[in-house]
Amino acid sequence: MQTHDPAITVRGLRKSYKDLQVLKGVDFEVARGSIFALLGSNGAGKTTIMRILATLLKPDDGAATVDGFDVRSQPAQVRESISLTGQFAAVDEILTGRENLVMVAELRQVRKPGQVADDLLARFSLSDAGGRPVGTYSGGMRRRLDIAMSLIGDPPVIFLDEPTTGLDPEARLEVWRMVKELATSGTTVLLTTQYLDEAEKLADRIAILHEGTIIVSGTLADLRRLLPPAKVEYVERQPSLEEIFLAIVGTKEGHR
Amino acid sequence: MSTHAISDARVMLKRSLRHVTRSLDTIITVTIMPIAFMLLFVYVFGGAIQTGTDNYVNYLLPGILLIAIGSGVAYTSYRLFNDLKSGIFERFHSMPIARPSVLWGHVLTSVVSNAISVAVIVLVALIMGFRSSAGVLAWLAVAGMLVLFTLALTWIAVIAALSAKTQDGAAAFSYPIIFLPFVSSAFVPTDSMPGPVRAFAENQPVTSIVNTIRALFEQQPVSSDIWTALAWCVGVLLVAYVVALAAYRRKIA
């Protein structure tokens, strides 16, 4: 496999639930080793894209590849290449943190599952809590465990679905730090978020998903350039991503 | 992929068994109701029930075991439903594993946990005076019959969990199953029942299973009941398995 190929490609992706069109032709690419943020409000279709890329859901139309494998025709290879964490990929609350890690290591056929689990517990500052049921963990600890579980077997692509939803600011910063570390070590990270500052701080590229299509995509600098110049004259500081988001979404809706 | 299937199912079984052993209240709940029925029927109603045997515990035990399994599988449905709701199902499905192992883990756990409650109930029955002259082969036949019955009900439980909208809904399928032994030969001989009830009792699966187990315990010939019982269990098992897999495919499609 050529390392210049994108880690994820999505072309003309469509998905409807009965009469409700959730995705109306989504296109984007994610470069290897980068952090890509899918930004959008609730119901914009972020989770649907994640579920399709994770082979949990079949698209109605369009194509998607992950690590060079087609999500429709090579789902087993795709699953070898990815890890899914966050909002809808739960951890087992009755098992201890260590047992969760060992379970994933065994399912991924990793050598020495116990050793792998202990190393990860230490790396994520969970060694003391490793023997306690996950049900007793705080939100931040649970998310750390969740991310630790996704690293087992070194998958080249990690999906983080709303990784900091429900976390306090400190735990949020902690998760951000871990996500950046991942990308530095060469892992491709696709994350969804509804927090604009999260995308702004973390992502190399940002795509704004609105009503089933990507209305804009690029680096933060690209997006800044999209703001109407008339507005720029009035503000002295750089516009925040939040303003860009609201301006673009507002314009689109105004056209209809 | 298929070489992973067995080791994946083993990991899933280990996980699910931990859920069982860490909520001992479910084992107690599952065993206490059948034991209460056994006490009630032996020490309260038993004196007035004419079964033609002098040891009513011997007569009663097979039906009590079926009731225990009927309520035990409700927890299988409950556990699978929780996995579907919590999102852990999705995590497993996004991993490079043999996907059906997520179902098999629950099915095997059902067999193991029901075997534990059956053993507990048999122990209590022994204390209450249950005696059997059955040899090893007869006991193995009883165990086989009960495992088959458990598997048949467990796959029904899988269907219930996959199609339920609420937690209560996932367990509701077990109520009629728990009730079936009451309208069978489990507590009283069917020939004491009025015509239509008797016709129902004699032609529903529980009666043939109860009669088979009872005959095996008593070292008596099992008659044609064993074939009827096997036909019911295998038939229900196959239909429930096919329907459950179809429901599963719909769920993950």
B98 CB neighbours in chain A (<8 A) are none
**CA B46-B50-B52 angle, 5° bins:** 115
Kind of pairing between the strands at A205-210 and A213-218: antiparallel
CB-based contact A79 B96, cutoff 8 Å? yes
3-state SS, residue A209: strand
Whether the per-residue pLDDT at A18 is higher than 60: the answer is: yes
DSSP 8-state code for residue A133: B
Alpha-carbon distances of A236 from A163, A231, A232, B152, rounded to whole Å: 33, 10, 8, 72
Q: How far is B12 from chain A (nearest CA, A)?
A: 8
pLDDT at residue number A239: 77
DSSP B184-229: TTTTS-GGGS-HHHHHHHHHSHHHHHHHHHHHHHTT---TTHHHHH
Q: Which of A88, A106, A133 sits opposite B87 (nearest CB)?
A: A88
Which residue of chain A comes nearest to B12, CA vs CA?
A103
pLDDT at residue number B56: 87
Whether the per-residue pLDDT at A121 is higher than 50: the answer is: yes
At B1, the pLDDT band (50, 70, 90 cuts) reads very low
Closest CA to A12 of A21, A30, A24, A20: A24
Q: How far apart are the C-alpha atoms of B169 and B159, rounded to whole Å? A: 11
pLDDT at residue number A132: 95
At B10, the pLDDT band (50, 70, 90 cuts) reads very high
Question: Integer distance in angstroms from the first to the last C-alpha of chain A?
Answer: 44
Question: Integer distance in angstroms from the first to the last C-alpha of chain B?
Answer: 20
Least confident of A233-237, B86-90, B159-163, B201-205: A233-237
Whether the per-residue pLDDT at A178 is higher than 90: the answer is: no
DSSP B121-170: HHHHHHHTT------HHHHHHHHHHHHHHHHHHHHHHHHHHHH-SSHHHH
Question: Is the pLDDT higher at A196 or at A251?
Answer: A196
CB-based contact A108 B96, cutoff 8 Å? yes
CB-based contact B15 A88, cutoff 8 Å? no
In a 13 Å sphere around the CA of A188, the CA atoms on its Cβ side amount to 21
Whether the per-residue pLDDT at A235 is higher than 70: the answer is: no
Q: How far is B26 from chain A (nearest CA, A)?
A: 14
Tokens 């009755």 belong to residue: A94
pLDDT, tens digit (0-9, with 9 covering 90-100), for B18-29: 998 888 787 788
% chain A with pLDDT above 70: 91
A84 CB neighbours in chain B (<8 A) are 90-91, 94
The segment with the largest mean pLDDT, out of A127-131, B85-89, B189-193, is A127-131
What was the ipTM of the complex prediction? 0.85
CB-based contact B87 A109, cutoff 8 Å? no
pLDDT at residue number A233: 54
CB-based contact A82 B253, cutoff 8 Å? no
Which residue of chain B comes nearest to A59, CA vs CA?
B253
pLDDT at residue number A127: 92
Q: Which of A84, A92, A133 sits opposite B15 (nearest CB)?
A: A92
pLDDT at residue number B21: 87
Whether the per-residue pLDDT at B182 is higher than 80: the answer is: yes
pLDDT, tens digit (0-9, with 9 covering 90-100), for A56-91: 999 999 999 999 999 999 999 999 999 998 766 689
Q: Chain A 62-121, CB below 8 Å of chain B: which residues?
A: 76, 79-80, 82-84, 87-95, 99, 103-104, 106-109
Which residue of chain A comes nearest to B93, CA vs CA?
A56
- Residue A13: CB atoms within 10 Å: 27
Mean pLDDT, residues A244-256 taken together = 65
At A256, the pLDDT band (50, 70, 90 cuts) reads very low
Q: How far is A221 from chain B (nearest CA, A)?
A: 34
pLDDT at residue number A238: 76
Mean pLDDT, residues A140-152 taken together = 90
* Four-residue CA torsion sign, B137, B140, B144, B145: positive
Tokens 């079984």 belong to residue: B13
Q: Which of A76, A84, A95 sits opposite B1 (nearest CB)?
A: A76
At B69, the pLDDT band (50, 70, 90 cuts) reads very high
Question: Is the pLDDT higher at B221 or at A58?
Answer: A58
Per-residue tokens: B4: 């992973």
Q: How far is A123 from chain B (nearest CA, A)?
A: 22
Question: Is the pLDDT higher at B100 or at A97?
Answer: A97
CB-based contact B90 A80, cutoff 8 Å? no
Least confident of A50-54, A226-230, B192-196: A226-230
Contact in structure between B114 and B150 (CB atoms under 8 Å): yes
B96 CB neighbours in chain A (<8 A) are 76, 79-80, 107-108
pTM for the predicted model, two decimal places:
0.86
The 8 Å CB, 24+ separation contacts for B180-183 are B180/B66, B180/B70, B180/B204, B180/B205, B180/B206, B181/B63, B181/B66, B181/B67, B181/B70, B181/B206, B181/B210
pLDDT at residue number B3: 64
Mean pLDDT, residues B186-196 taken together = 87
Q: Which of A83, A95, A107 sits opposite B8 (nearest CB)?
A: A107
At B158, the pLDDT band (50, 70, 90 cuts) reads very high
CB-based contact B94 A90, cutoff 8 Å? no
Q: How far is A108 from chain B (nearest CA, A)?
A: 7
Contact in structure between B145 and B229 (CB atoms under 8 Å): yes
B106 CB neighbours in chain A (<8 A) are none
Q: How far apart are the C-alpha atoms of A157 and A182, rounded to whole Å? A: 10
CB-based contact A84 B91, cutoff 8 Å? yes
Whether the per-residue pLDDT at A210 is higher than 50: the answer is: yes
Whether the per-residue pLDDT at B144 is higher than 90: the answer is: yes
pLDDT, tens digit (0-9, with 9 covering 90-100), for B39-67: 998 888 877 877 777 788 888 999 999 99
CB-based contact B91 A76, cutoff 8 Å? no
At A183, the pLDDT band (50, 70, 90 cuts) reads confident
Per-residue tokens: A252: 């689109």
Q: How far is A233 from chain B (nearest CA, A)?
A: 48
Whether the per-residue pLDDT at A173 is higher than 80: the answer is: yes
* Four-residue CA torsion sign, B61, B158, B97, A97: negative
Q: How far apart are the C-alpha atoms of B112 and B15, rounded to whole Å? A: 13
Mean pLDDT, residues B137-162 taken together = 94
Closest CA to B90 of A166, A82, A68, A134: A82
Which residue of chain B comes nearest to A77, CA vs CA?
B96
Dihedral-angle region of residue A197 (phi above 0 means left; psi in -120 to 50 means alpha; beta otherwise): alpha
Q: Domains, chain A, ranges and CATH?
A: 8-90+156-255 (3.40.50.300)
Q: How far is B20 from chain A (nearest CA, A)?
A: 10
Whether the per-residue pLDDT at A98 is higher than 80: the answer is: yes
Q: How far apart are the C-alpha atoms of A220 and A244, rounded to whole Å? A: 10
At A94, the pLDDT band (50, 70, 90 cuts) reads very high
CB-based contact B93 A88, cutoff 8 Å? no
pLDDT at residue number A255: 46
Closest CA to A163 of A52, A83, A93: A83
Closest CA to B135 of B229, B218, B223, B230: B218
Whether the per-residue pLDDT at A122 is higher than 70: the answer is: yes
% chain B with pLDDT above 70: 98
Q: How far is B148 from chain A (nearest CA, A)?
A: 29
Across chain B, what does the average pLDDT equal? 89
DSSP 8-state code for residue A135: G
Q: How far apart are the C-alpha atoms of B180 and B182, rounded to whole Å? A: 5
A67 CB neighbours in chain B (<8 A) are none
The segment with the largest mean pLDDT, out of B117-131, B182-196, B219-233, is B117-131
Q: How far is A36 from chain B (nearest CA, A)?
A: 20
Contact in structure between B83 and B107 (CB atoms under 8 Å): no
Alpha-carbon distances of A182 from A33, A178, A205, A234, rounded to whole Å: 9, 6, 16, 39
Domain residue ranges of chain B, discontinuous segments joined by +: 2-252
pLDDT at residue number A254: 45
Which residue of chain A comes nearest to B13, CA vs CA?
A103
A65 DSSP β-pair partners: A9, A70
CB-based contact B22 A80, cutoff 8 Å? no
